[in-house]
C-alpha cells in the first residue's frame, strides 16, 4: 500500500520558480543569491562575459586556502619577492609595496591581497606556490572548472587587464560561494578594514580595504572590488544578518558611488523582499515511519543535507510538504537505508524532492512473533 503523510508547514520556501521582482540595478550585469538555499533572487545578463579585474584575487586566495587546508602550505612559510612582483609595486597599481629580495610570509601576502588588493602580493604568492605566475594561472583555471565556473579563464593572478582573463558574474558568484563555504576561517580576513605592512627599509604602511560596503552599517563582511577602464567598476559582496547570508556580484557600474549604492540596493532588496527558513537539519530526525515485523514498531528517518528554502514574503499558505513511502516498511531495515521521499510543493508545483534515510538498524522479530503479528493482522487488521 502506498502510504502518504501530509505536513503543512506554515513557513516560507521556494526552490525553482522565478522570484525576481521589479527592481532595476544600474550595472551591465548582476546577480544575487541567498547563500544557504542557493536560490537566485535577481539576475541581469548573468552569463555575459566580463573582465573580472581584482575579483580575480578571490581565486588567487582560494588556491592558497586549499593548500593551507591540505597542509601543503603554511601561513608562516616565506616567499622571496622577485623583480616581477616588485615592479608592480612601482608602476601605479594597487600594491602591498613589497621590496625585491624581501622574504614575506604567506599570511602577510594573503592579507596584502585581500585587504590592500596588492597586485605585487599576488605575483609573489603565485610564484611561491607554482614557480611562475603562468603556472599558477593554470591552477586557477583548473580550480574554476572543478567548482563549476564554466565560462571563466584566468591568465594572471591579479586581474590586471588581459583579454584572456575573463569570467561572468554567475561564475564569480560560484567562486565566492565556494570561498565562504569551504574556508570560513580565512574568509573573515575579507571583512578587515585595514592592513599594516611592516615593510623593509621604510615606515610601516597601513592601507584600508577598498570594499565600500564594509563601512556601512548593513552587515557586509566581504568580498572584493574591481576596476578596469574597459569594464568600469565591479564588486562581489556579501552580507550576513540574523543568520542569513546573501551574495551579490555586479560589473559595469559607471562610478565608485554607483557601485556602492547599487550593490547596497541589491543586497537590501534581498533582505526585505524574501525570507529564508530551514526545513530540515542534516543528520537529525525528521519524522518516523511505520515498521512491519520489526523489533520496533517505527523508525526515525533523516536527511543527509541541510534543507533551506527562500520565498517572497507573505506566501506561506502556498506551501505543502508530503512524505511518501510504501508502508509499513518490512524489517529488517539497514541504517541509512532509503525508506521514503520528502516532496515539497509550492502553489501546486513540485519544487523539491529528497530521500529520507533510516536513522538506525531495525532487526526482524523471531518467527513466533512474526506468526502472532500476522495472525493479529488477519483477524484485527492490526499491524
DSSP 163: T
CA atoms within 13 A on the CB side of 127: 18
The helix (run of H) or strand (run of E) holding residue 33 is: strand 29-34
- Quick one: residue 381, left, alpha or beta (phi over 0 = left, psi -120 to 50 = alpha)? left
Q: Which of 37, 44, 57, 237 is labelled catalytic? A: 57
- The C-alpha atoms of residue 378 and residue 322 are separated, in whole angstroms, by 29
- The C-alpha atoms of residue 209 and residue 237 are separated, in whole angstroms, by 13
Structure-block grid coordinates of residue 55: 575579483
Q: Is 374 a catalytic residue?
A: no
- The C-alpha atoms of residue 65 and residue 199 are separated, in whole angstroms, by 24
The SS3 of residue 296 is coil
Q: Which of 54, 237, 251, 263 is labelled catalytic? A: 54
H helices of the chain, where?
57-70, 83-88, 106-114, 119-130, 133-146, 169-182, 184-187, 256-273, 367-380
Q: Which of 94, 117, 176, 263 is labelled catalytic? A: 117
Q: Is 155 a catalytic residue?
A: no
Answer for the pair 323, 356: CB distance below 8 angstroms, yes or no: yes
Q: Is 341 a catalytic residue?
A: no
Structure-block grid coordinates of residue 208: 584600508
- The C-alpha atoms of residue 355 and residue 15 are separated, in whole angstroms, by 16
List active site positions.
54, 57, 117
Amino acid at each position: 500500500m502506498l502510504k502518504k503523510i501530509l505536513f503543512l508547514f506554515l513557513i516560507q520556501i521556494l526552490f525553482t520558480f522565478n522570484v525576481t521582482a521589479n527592481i532595476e540595478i544600474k550595472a551591465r550585469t548582476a546577480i544575487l543569491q541567498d547563500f544557504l538555499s542557493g536560490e537566485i533572487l535577481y539576475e541581469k545578463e548573468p552569463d555575459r562575459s566580463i573582465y573580472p579585474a581584482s575579483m580575480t584575487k578571490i581565486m588567487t586566495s582560494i588556491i592558497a586556502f586549499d593548500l593551507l587546508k591540505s597542509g601543503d602550505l603554511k601561513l608562516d612559510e616565506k616567499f622571496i619577492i622577485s623583480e616581477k612582483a616588485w615592479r608592480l609595486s612601482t608602476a601605479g597599481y594597487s600594491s602591498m609595496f613589497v621590496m625585491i629580495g624581501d622574504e614575506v610570509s604567506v599570511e602577510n601576502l594573503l592579507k596584502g591581497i585581500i585587504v590592500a588588493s596588492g597586485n605585487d602580493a599576488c605575483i609573489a604568492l603565485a610564484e611561491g606556490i607554482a614557480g611562475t605566475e603562468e603556472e599558477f594561472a593554470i591552477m586557477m583555471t583548473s580550480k574554476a572548472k572543478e567548482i563549476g565556473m564554466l565560462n571563466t579563464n584566468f591568465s594572471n593572478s591579479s586581474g590586471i587587464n588581459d583579454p584572456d582573463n575573463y569570467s561572468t558574474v554567475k561564475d564569480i558568484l560560484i567562486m565566492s560561494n565556494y570561498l565562504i563555504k569551504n574556508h570560513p576561517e580565512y574568509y573573515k580576513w575579507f571583512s578587515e578594514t585595514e592592513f599594516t605592512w611592516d615593510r623593509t627599509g621604510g615606515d610601516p604602511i597601513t592601507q584600508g580595504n577598498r570594499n565600500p560596503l564594509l563601512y556601512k552599517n548593513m552587515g557586509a563582511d566581504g568580498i572584493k572590488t574591481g576596476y578596469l577602464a574597459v569594464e568600469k567598476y565591479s564588486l562581489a559582496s556579501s552580507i550576513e544578518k540574523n543568520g542569513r547570508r546573501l551574495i551579490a556580484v555586479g560589473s559595469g557600474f559607471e562610478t565608485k558611488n554607483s557601485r556602492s549604492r547599487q550593490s547596497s540596493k541589491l543586497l537590501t532588496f534581498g533582505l526585505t523582499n524574501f525570507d529564508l527558513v530551514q526545513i530540515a537539519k542534516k543528520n537529525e530526525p525528521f519524522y518516523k515511519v511505520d515498521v512491519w515485523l520489526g523489533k520496533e514498531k517505527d523508525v526515525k528517518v533523516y536527511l543527509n543535507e541541510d534543507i533551506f528554502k527562500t520565498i517572497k514574503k507573505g506566501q506561506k499558505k502556498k506551501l505543502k510538504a508530503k512524505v511518501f513511502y510504501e508502508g509499513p516498511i518490512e524489517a529488517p531495515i539497514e541504517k541509512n537505508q532509503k525508506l521514503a521521499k520528502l516532496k515539497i510543493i509550492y502553489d501546486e508545483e513540485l519544487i523539491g524532492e529528497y530521500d529520507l534515510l533510516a536513522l538506525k538498524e531495525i532487526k526482524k522479530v523471531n518467527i513466533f512473533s512474526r506468526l502472532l503479528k500476522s495472525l493479529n493482522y488477519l483477524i484485527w487488521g492490526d499491524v
